[in-house]
Amino acid sequence: MTATEAQFSIKPESAALAPRVELLLDRVFGAERREKASYLFREGVAPVAPLSFVALDHHKKLVGSIRYWPIQVGETGHPALLLGPLAITPQLAGKGIGRALTFRTLEIAAEMGYDLVLLVGDYDYYKRFGFVPATPYGFVMPTEKRPERLQVTELKPGVLGRVSGEIRHVKESTGSVVAMPVQPPRRRVRRAAARA
């Protein structure tokens, strides 16, 4: 273990930690974060529990959080994930916490059978995880004013190019959260980063 890794640990988010996660998100993004276009897809829908992870420092203080929401894509309602929010406490930025949270959860998402992940964020950061701009692949997030910030990655080869369309709120289309089949890991997501 390196000195940097010793400064934090990665764990699933427990219910008791949820209020502290909300405070961290408010600190990092501001309370107005809830007005972002991506939050429309979170309204009335719970985050995907097995993909909600936190980072704690050696005092057990919350220093990072990642969550994902279920979404659907296109007319077929292809099940996918909306990554985010991802937030690291500013004092510990640049120490690999965001990277650790993202790689760990993308691996679990692939193990759960998800094959497509979208997010709204900086390509220059997310390209290391295999994300590419989503608009050229035909993905549309209605009401997002900066479509160049919409990024996508596939967790199974061949999904990009086959699946595209408008991102849809799960509740509006089905009335329930999509249940994904649990499948064995097909590949390690780090391979995608190596291609980026």
Shortest distance (Å) from residue 124 CB to ligand COA: 4
Shortest distance (Å) from residue 23 CB to ligand COA: 14
The residue (of 25 and 170) whose beta carbon lies closer to ligand COA is 25
Lookup: tokens for 139: 């993905």
Shortest distance (Å) from residue 138 CB to ligand COA: 22
Name which of residues 161 to 180 contact ligand COA (CB under 6 A): none
Neighbours of 105 (CB within 10 A): 26
Tokens 């650790």 — which residue? Answer: 100
DSSP 161: T
Task: List, as one string, the DSSP characters of 95-137.
Answer: SSHHHHHHHHHHHHHHHHT--EEEEES-HHHHGGGT-EESGGG
Name which of residues 111 to 130 contact ligand COA (CB under 6 A): 121-122, 124-125
Find, among 181, 189, 175, 182, the residue nearest to 77 by Cα: 175
The residue (of 39 and 113) whose beta carbon lies closer to ligand COA is 39
The residue (of 76 and 91) whose beta carbon lies closer to ligand COA is 91
Shortest distance (Å) from residue 142 CB to ligand COA: 19
Lookup: tokens for 170: 């799960």
Q: What letter represents residue 77's amino acid?
A: G
For ligand COA, the binding residue among 87, 118, 141, 192 (CB under 6 A) is 87
67 binds ligand COA (CB under 6 A): no
Q: How far apart are CA 21 and CA 14, in angstroms?
A: 10
Name which of residues 9 to 28 contact ligand COA (CB under 6 A): 28
Residues that bind ligand COA (CB under 6 A): 28, 84-88, 93-99, 121-122, 124-125
